[in-house]
Structure formats: structure tokens, C-alpha cells
Amino acid sequence: MPAASTAGGAIPARSVPERSVLEEPLLRVEHLHKRFALAGRRGAQLHAVDDVSLTIQPGEALGLVGESGCGKSTLVRLLARLLDVSEGRILFEGEDLAATPARSFAVHPRRAVLQMVFQDPTDSLNPRFSARDTIREPCVLLAGMDRLAADERVDEVAQQVGLAPELLSRFPHQLSGGQKARVGIARALVMRPRLLILDEPTAALDVSVQAVVLQLLDRLRIDLGLSTLFVSHDLNVVRLLTDRVAVMYLGRIVETGPSTAVFRAPRHPYTRALVSAIPGQGPRIRLDGEVASPINPSPTMCRFHSRCPQAAERCLREAPALPAAVHAAACHFVPG
């Protein structure tokens, strides 16, 4: 892909090295925490993200799954640098992005290579901007490109995402849901990012359009050599479109591994319950009991113990760790 040349700035074309050659992941998250103080309750904190560590390799698609309220959205906002961390590091090619306040990251040099496609394309697009204006804006703000060079890049990326030239002059209210989704994807791709965070990218679309957009995202990931973090409640989609998957429960990663292995033989009881909800996966596992509170949770207790069919005395006094393994689960009773 040729680089856009301009006296005012340029987006350099990049080459993606073979994953096996690289020793370090593109993104390394180390012991990430996000705690929210509760008004009127002295010392009370909601632990939305609690000691999360994960990696994403160049060219890899990592899926993030878990039920509503598990912390997925907060984790995504931390990684996209839209929210400040309470503790921990977000290492992107060795640089700790968590050291830069979220309010300052919009103009950080790394913003160009770490982009996000939001859940609802309608809410994420400026109604006063045409499709061309929306896609072109990062070129001007982040790369200082002149209008001619920026427009050339817009035309290039619009073609990549299948956005017809005549649609570029239209405003969001003049576009269909699928067309608005393509504008959002083009805006994220225009700076040639290395990591693309996809937060439920088709959740707001009609079912008939979802498959087309998902196929587009998968093709772009492969063609452009992108790394992606794919957040979705649709486990079938995650199974088909990701290399690895991380399962989140009450702010913590409870299982991680290759997608094929996790969905074929889930090791954590929570993951087994999630997978059982996929049609054709056998009898549905129903989880009884109350969800534990995320407010000042005990550091020495398993978060899942109140709903776990395998819960034992040990789970009340010893929080299981997530081992460093290719396929790992944070459970005292992982099958051999």
C-alpha cells in the first residue's frame, strides 16, 4: 500500500513482520486495575477491572467475551485510552500508554496506530460532518496532511471498505446502518493503525447487514495485517473470527486460550456455561446463585464461587490465579 505523500505530513506505509519472528507482543497489558469511588460511601470502590493481564501479537485477533457487567467495556476504554487507569501498565510496542492521561492521548503520536470501531455507528458519527469529513479528520489532526493528500487517502480507504464514492458527500442521516458502519471502519483505518479495537461493531445493525460487515472486518484484518481486539456477546462470531479468546467475569480474566481449544473444551465452569448456550453445544448449563458484588471484593475469595456448581471451601479462602499457559483457567479444579 503506497504512503500518502504531503508536505504537511504523511501516513507511512507499514510492513507487518511474521508473528513467529517477533519476541514481544504488540500489546502487553500488565496487572491493569480500574476502580471507581462510590459517592456517599467512604472507602467503597467498584472494581470494574481487577488485575487484568493479557497480550496481543502482531496480526492476531483476540476475542473478549463475558456477560453484561463483567468489565469488558471498561477494559476496552482503558486500552483505547479513553479512560485513565487506577493501576497497571498498557505497553504498546514497549511504551507504557497508561502513563499518558486519557485527556492528553487524543494528540499522542500513538493515537494514530491504535484505533477503535465503536458499537453504534450512528452515535459515533458527527451529524454535521459528511462521510468524507469524518474519514478525513484524523489525517488533518494527527498527521497534518494537506487537503489534497488527505482526500487521496480518504478515497483509498473508502475503496478498501467498499464505500461508494458518491456516498462520501452524504451526511449520517442520509446513510444506511451498513454504510455508516463502513464510514466508522474507514475512519479507524485511515491512519493505518496497527491495533484495531472492535467494540461490538455490529450490535446496532440489522441481522441481514451484520454478516456482511463481519466478513469485511475479517478480510481487512487479514489483508492489512492488523491486530484486533474483538469484543462481542455473540460467541459464534468470536469462535469464527478470532485466534485466541479471553473470558472475563466480574473484572477478571478467568480463562484464555486458542479459540478452537476454549470452545471445544472450556476449562473454567463459567466458560462451560457460556459455551453451553451456543446452539448445538449440548445441554444448557444454568447458573444458580447471586452474582458476587464488585464493590470492595475480597482478594482471597473466588469471584465465581456464589454461582459455581463446583464451589468448595477452598474457593472461599483462596482466590485462584490464572496460570501462564497456552490454555489457562483461573480455577482450583481445572480438569487435567
Same domain, yes or no: 273 and 235: no
DSSP letters spanning 189-249: HTT--SEEEEESTTTTS-HHHHHHHHHHHHHHHHHHT-EEEEE-S-HHHHHHH-SEEEEEE
Euclidean distance between the first and the last CA atom of the chain, given in angstroms as a whole number: 47
Classified as helix, coil or strand, 33 is strand
Residue 4 lies in a domain: no
Of all residues in the chain, what percent carry a pLDDT higher than 90?
Answer: 74
Residue 255 lies in a domain: no
Same domain, yes or no: 192 and 44: yes
Judge whether residue 171 has pLDDT over 60.
Answer: yes
Closest CA to 72 of 236, 250, 242: 250
Residue 164 lies in a domain: yes
Residue 260 lies in a domain: no
Confidence of residue 3 (pLDDT cuts 50, 70, 90): very low
Same domain, yes or no: 233 and 91: yes
User: How much is the CA Rg of the chain, to the nearest whole Å?
Assistant: 21
Residue 202 lies in a domain: yes
**Which tens digits make up the pLDDT trace of 74-130?**
999 999 999 999 999 999 999 999 999 999 998 888 889 999 998 888 888 999 999
Residue 153 grid cell: 487517502
Same domain, yes or no: 53 and 152: yes
Residue 238: the pLDDT is: 92
Question: Which structural domain, as residue segments, surrounds residue 210?
Answer: 23-242
**Which tens digits make up the pLDDT trace of 185-239?**
999 999 999 999 999 888 878 888 888 999 999 999 999 999 999 998 888 889 8
Confidence of residue 23 (pLDDT cuts 50, 70, 90): low
What is the C-alpha separation between 336 and 218, in angstroms, rounded? 34
- Would you say 146 and 226 are in contact if contact means Cβ atoms under 8 Å apart? no
Q: Strand order of the sheet with strand 87-92?
A: 45-56, 27-37, 87-92, 95-96
Residue 63 lies in a domain: yes
> What size, in residues, is the chain?
336
Closest CA to 114 of 56, 171, 63: 56
Same domain, yes or no: 108 and 192: yes
Confidence of residue 335 (pLDDT cuts 50, 70, 90): low
Q: How far is CA 158 from CA 140, 169, 235, in A?
A: 17, 12, 29
Same domain, yes or no: 313 and 188: no
Residue 261 lies in a domain: no
Judge whether residue 53 has pLDDT over 70.
Answer: yes
